[in-house]
Amino acid sequence: MKQVIFNVGGALSTYINFDDKNLLVDLGKSDSFNPVDDFLLPLYKKRNAKIIEDSDSKYYIDQLIISHPHNDHISAIKDFEKYFCPEWLTCPNDNLGMDELHKINWKLFDDNENVNILKTMLSGREPPLKFAIEDKGSIHYITPKLVENDSELNNESYCNNISIVVYVNINGSKVLIPGDLQKLGMKYLINADTKFYNKLREGVDVLITPHHGLRSSFSTELFDVIKDKKTRCLNIVSEKPTTADSNRQVDSRYSNSDYCKGENNLSSYLDPTCQRKTSNGHIYIDYSDYSNPNFEITTDNNILIDRFLTQ
């Protein structure tokens, strides 16, 4: 059981392998790394992975979750659609059969090629929205119509606050991937979704920080609810290097021991490591040791692929 959070600059994409199941959350890419061309495609070719019949020789993947259709989360969608076909495609959507509360308002998103490709992929796919391996994880979200009609949530960001939040248990390690959910959105979801609240009370070992770890989205409510009021292992920030005067500043609290215990192999007794940024490299996590994930940071794509070829 393994995971990688890719170095895609100020975007997001993470791949999770559950032995016989493979999942992808978001499809952001950078100028120097494309999770499809530089990782998934060579990995699946080396695996001699299953090709779906009558699909123009596309590779099968169990689930693709798109937290929300912002370009930094779907910029590699065209490459994915060319080579891969997910059994489950989970994304805020507006298909017939969905309750009006759950339908996304596409007019509030940019109209571009990537969004149009995603809309085509979503066509005909029916709800419910759920995690493909039900005993391993769950998804949570604020219904889009509620966000649209709530002035505070909408003003904070309709597009970010409809983000699908993924909570997954990988061999005893609890991982939270909240997309771009912002402060008010996180507070609302915690108060409105009892199941999500109870999951957080069980603890979070690895946090992929919301909205790329930016100051504008740091949620004290999240940490107030998490068991021990801090993550156990590591806070991971998917963000590009920034200058001192940039408006995309990562909140320094993620690197503080007040918000993470730093129980990981990157830490020493006197120097706990609480935060790592993907700008330092892809962050690979091996979950084979129950509840004791092993972290590695690599800039070598071939080494990363090899990690997922070995059992």
CA 274 to chain centre: 19
Predicted TM-score of the model (pTM): 0.96
Q: Tell me: pLDDT of 167 over 70.
A: yes
Q: What is the pLDDT of residues 221-268, one digit of tens each?
A: 999 999 999 999 999 999 877 666 666 789 999 999 999 999 999 998
Task: Look at the alpha carbons of 255, 259, 260, 261 in this order and tell me if their dihedral is positive or negative.
Answer: positive
DSSP labels for 186-205?
A: HHHHHHH-HHHHHHHHH--S
User: Residue 33 has what pLDDT?
Assistant: 97
| CATH 3.30.300.30 is the classification of domain 2-309 | no
User: Residue 310 has what pLDDT?
Assistant: 81
Give the type of residue at 89: L
Bridge partners of 260? Answer: 231
Q: What is the pLDDT of residues 128-140, one digit of tens each?
A: 688 988 889 999 9
User: Residue 99 has what pLDDT?
Assistant: 87
Share above pLDDT 90 across residues of the chain, in percent, rounded to a whole number: 83
Q: What is the pLDDT of residues 25-60, one digit of tens each?
A: 999 999 999 999 999 999 999 998 778 776 678 999
CA distance 251 to 215: 4
Confidence of residue 90 (pLDDT cuts 50, 70, 90): very high
CA distance 184 to 179: 14
Cα distances (Å, whole numbers) of residue 264 to 36, 59, 159, 268, 272:
29, 34, 34, 9, 8
